[in-house]
Structures are given as structure tokens and as C-alpha cells.
Amino acid sequence: MSESAGTSESASGLSARVVVTPSNGEAETSGYEVRIRPGLLEELPAALRERAPAARYAVISDSTVAELYGNRVLDTLRRAGLNAELLVFPAGEAHKNRESWMDLSDRLLASRHGRDTTVLALGGGVTGDLAGFVAATYMRGLPLVQLPTTVLAMIDSSVGGKTGVDTPGGKNLIGAFLQPRFVLADTGTLRTLAPAEVRAGLAEAVKHGAIADGGYFRWISESVEPLLALDPSATVRLIGRSVEIKAAVVGADERENGLRKTLNFGHTVGHAIEARSAFSLLHGEAIAIGMVVEADLGEALGITEPGTTARIRELLERLGLPVTVPAGFTAAEVIELTRADKKARAGNVEYALLERIGTSSPGDGKFGIAVRDEDVAAALGRCRG
């Protein structure tokens, strides 16, 4: 672990804390906390007074999470004497768009929110991205607090400061970097997730192990049953280690000029497959397929250690995730969709490939490797269902 990430855990294993220090030093200069424990939403008022004091708070949530936790959070804030409002948008990746951003911004204006407002993003990755982009752009920037309620958001999207919306051209093509003041990952909220959402979130944890920590990858493989059952201790350990890995990367390269590209393993193909499915595949499901394809691609190019693809595929299958390109998804369609990805440079699509489990492969020291279309097409063919 680098100096950019520090962690502590309770003796019971039911809580963890990670400090994230972005490389540009903008997050309160001393970094921000990611707290991980059941019941943390009840401690939100005290955390806000300490880390993000404001005259007003705008809680942004999607329609599904708002029904589960929106009023609970509002009541908690108001009982503590804090002025809070709940803004709800329709659930689903299809609503992480410019129209929702505009609607939420207009509603903030109509309620006369000023620069003394702090935005609270309550929900999964879609909410964190969208609410974060609202915070980054409203009146040139408001403080942001992330309150993730899914495995995926807790271990990945709530940490690192990426915000944005999707367009017809691709995912997250319009956005901004905005680090949160802090993150509260209340693991008690995971109990309301559908099993498919839990599995999809675990795909990103597999990615973290694959790119940075072979021991963590092995631990996930040994802990499949408790992780799928959301065992409290195993869940906190998983989230804490994944956040440590991401915090170390963000601490070294916030703006994705080098090391942060390693976090894109599985995502170049995965995002294309997700888009081709019209988002009928969950993000983690598409990334699982993308990791298998990109590991196979790396092996075929002589970059990735032989046998790596089989190990990744086997673990993903045990987690109940898809590992083959869906029937009807042609290589030409998927490759064309990769061209809209943010990782394209000078017309070339870059891939974050592995050297072996636990170690990413730097492409000329830049971690992004340009690959020929015919090599990608061949990998897609080998990984077809």
C-alpha cells in the first residue's frame, strides 16, 4: 500500500477506514475518509458537521433507493437540525444522461440552493456519477459526499472522483473530476440488493485483485460462499481491500495519465458489450466478460502469463457471472463501440492488459496498449458463447 492510502480495522472485522489522498492534493489537502461499517447512515449528521458543514444539503437518489432509504436519511438529518431536501430521478443507467443532469440542476435552482449547499449522493454507481456531475457543475462546484448503497459503488465508483453522464456516443463521455469530502459505506444497505447486483459488484473486486494483488485474488476465490451471502466480516474485508487498492492508484495518478489506466482492465471490451446489450447486462456482468476477453487477448499477444484467462474465468463462473460474449454480438459491432471509449487515443483503442494475476503490464511504461482490430476480433471469437 502506498503512502496515499491508509487503513485501520476493528478487532471484530466489522469496520474499516481508508484515507484517500488524490495526487493533485485538492481533497482538503489531507485526503478524505472512506468509512466502512454497518449502521453508518445513522452517524451521517456528525460526519457532515465535521467534514462537510453546510447551510443546506441536497440528497440526490434514484427512485429505487429513495424508496428504501431516502426518507430515512432525511429524517436522520432533520432530527439533527440539518436543512435537507431529497431530489429523486428515475432509476437505471438509461437515466444517467444530460436530461437528468439538467432536471436536477434546474430543481436545485428552483429551490434556490446556493454555493453553501452540499450534495449527498445516495445510491449506486449511477447515482454517484450523476449526482457527482451535478455537484461538479452547479454554480461551478459544490462539495460532494458519497453514500454508496451497492457493492459496486462501495468498492469502486464512489472512490476516486470520477463523475459524469452517458450520451448516445458512449458511457461517461461528459463528466468531471470531483473528489468527495468523505464516503460512508453503510454495509447494512447491501441486504436489500438483488443477488445479481451483489454478483455484479464482486466483478470489480476480482478486477482489483487481478491488476494489483494476487493474494487478494486468491482470498476472493477462497471466500466465494461468504461473499455471496454478504457475510458481514467478509464483506467489510472485501470493500476495505478494494478501496485500499483504488486509493493507492488515485493517490499516484488522479487524472488517468498512467497508473490509473490499470483500473480499466476489462472495461474497454466490457463497456462496448454493455452498450451493445442496451444496458440489459449489469455493468459488472459486462465487465466480467470484458476481463475474460482482455485476458485472452493479452495471452495471445504474449503479454499475459499463460493460464491467466482460465483462472479469471473459473472465479467469475463460481461467482455466477457471465464469461462469454453473448450470441449475436458480432466482433465488428463490439470493436466499433470501443472506438467511442474514453481510452481511445489518436484513433487507436488502448487496452489495460495483465502481466499475470496481481500485476498489470505497462505498455511502453504508460499502462495503455494499442491493439490491432484483428487481434481483438480473434479474442472475441475465442470467447464467444
Per-residue model confidence as pLDDT tens digits over 97-135: 999 999 999 999 999 999 999 999 999 999 999 999 999
For residue 323, which amino acid is it? Answer: V
Q: Examine the residue annotation and report whether 204 is marked as an active-site residue of this protein.
A: yes
Give me the CATH number covering residue 275: 1.20.1090.10
Assigned domain for 219 exists? no
Alpha-carbon span 65 to 194, nearest angstrom? 13
pLDDT score recorded for residue 323: 98
Assigned domain for 77 exists? yes
Residue at grid coordinates 443507467 = 93
Q: Average model confidence (pLDDT) for the chain?
A: 92
Q: How many domains does the chain have?
A: 2
pLDDT score recorded for residue 346: 54
Distances (CA, A) of 26 to 2, 20, 22, 119, 143: 18, 11, 7, 17, 12
Domain boundary pick from 192, 217, 251: 192
Asked if pLDDT for residue 348 goes beyond 80, the answer is no
Task: Please check whether residue 121 is in contact with residue 127, taking contact to mean a CB–CB distance below 8 angstroms.
Answer: yes
Alpha-carbon span 97 to 130, nearest angstrom? 8
Residue 188 shares a structural domain with residue 323 = no
Instruction: Enumerate the β-bridge partners of residue 32.
Output: 20
Which cell numbers hold the place of 249? 492508484
Alpha-carbon span 330 to 338, nearest angstrom? 13
pLDDT score recorded for residue 170: 83
Closest among 254, 213, 243, 255 to 360, alpha carbons compared: 213
Instruction: Enumerate the β-bridge partners of residue 345.
Output: 348
Closest among 182, 174, 172 to 247, alpha carbons compared: 182
- pLDDT classification of 229: cutoffs 50, 70, 90: very high
Residues 235-242, mean pLDDT to the nearest whole number: 96
Residue 285 shares a structural domain with residue 162 = no
Asked if pLDDT for residue 52 goes beyond 60, the answer is yes
Asked if pLDDT for residue 2 goes beyond 80, the answer is no
Which cell numbers hold the place of 171? 458511457
Task: Please check whether residue 156 is in contact with residue 204, taking contact to mean a CB–CB distance below 8 angstroms.
Answer: yes
Domain boundary pick from 151, 174, 192: 192
Of 24-28, 175-179, 322-326, 327-331, the one with minimum mean pLDDT is 24-28
DSSP letter assigned to residue 104: H
Q: Examine the residue annotation and report whether 96 is marked as an active-site residue of this protein.
A: no
Of 46-55, 140-149, 335-344, the one with minimum mean pLDDT is 335-344
pLDDT score recorded for residue 30: 59
Residue 186 shares a structural domain with residue 264 = no
Asked if pLDDT for residue 22 goes beyond 80, the answer is yes
pLDDT score recorded for residue 26: 57
Residues 193-208, mean pLDDT to the nearest whole number: 97
Domain boundary pick from 141, 171, 192: 192
Range of the domain at 308: 259-385
Q: Examine the residue annotation and report whether 267 is marked as an active-site residue of this protein.
A: yes
Assigned domain for 225 exists? no
Tell me the backbone φ, ψ of residue 147, rounded to 5 degrees.
-125, 75
Q: Examine the residue annotation and report whether 260 is marked as an active-site residue of this protein.
A: yes
Q: Examine the residue annotation and report whether 256 is marked as an active-site residue of this protein.
A: yes
Alpha-carbon span 274 to 258, nearest angstrom? 25
Residue 175 shares a structural domain with residue 302 = no
Give me the CATH number covering residue 161: 3.40.50.1970
In the set 171, 261, 283, 343, the catalytic residue is 283
In the set 207, 271, 276, 311, the catalytic residue is 271
In the set 3, 79, 112, 140, the catalytic residue is 140
In the set 260, 313, 342, 343, the catalytic residue is 260
Residue 68 shares a structural domain with residue 183 = yes
For residue 384, which amino acid is it? Answer: R
In the set 33, 197, 204, 299, the catalytic residue is 204
Task: Please check whether residue 184 is in contact with residue 44, taking contact to mean a CB–CB distance below 8 angstroms.
Answer: yes
Supply angle C-alpha 164, 170, 171, rounded to 5: 35
pLDDT score recorded for residue 28: 52
Q: Examine the residue annotation and report whether 264 is marked as an active-site residue of this protein.
A: yes
87: three-class secondary structure by DSSP: strand
Tell me the pairing of strands 84-89 and 56-62.
Answer: parallel
pLDDT score recorded for residue 383: 97
Q: Examine the residue annotation and report whether 95 is marked as an active-site residue of this protein.
A: no
Assigned domain for 181 exists? yes
Asked if pLDDT for residue 6 goes beyond 50, the answer is no
Q: Examine the residue annotation and report whether 343 is marked as an active-site residue of this protein.
A: no
pLDDT score recorded for residue 143: 97
Q: Tell whether pTM > 0.75.
A: yes
Residue at grid coordinates 450523476 = 130
Tell me the pairing of strands 144-148 and 56-62.
Answer: unpaired
In the set 113, 261, 267, 343, the catalytic residue is 267
Q: Edge-to-edge, what's the strand order for the sheet holding 348-351?
A: 344-345, 348-351, 369-370
- pLDDT classification of 380: cutoffs 50, 70, 90: very high
The rounded percent of the chain whose pLDDT value lies above 70 is 93
pLDDT digits (tens, 9 = 90+) for 55-94: 999 999 999 999 999 999 999 999 999 999 999 999 999 9
Residue at grid coordinates 430515512 = 72
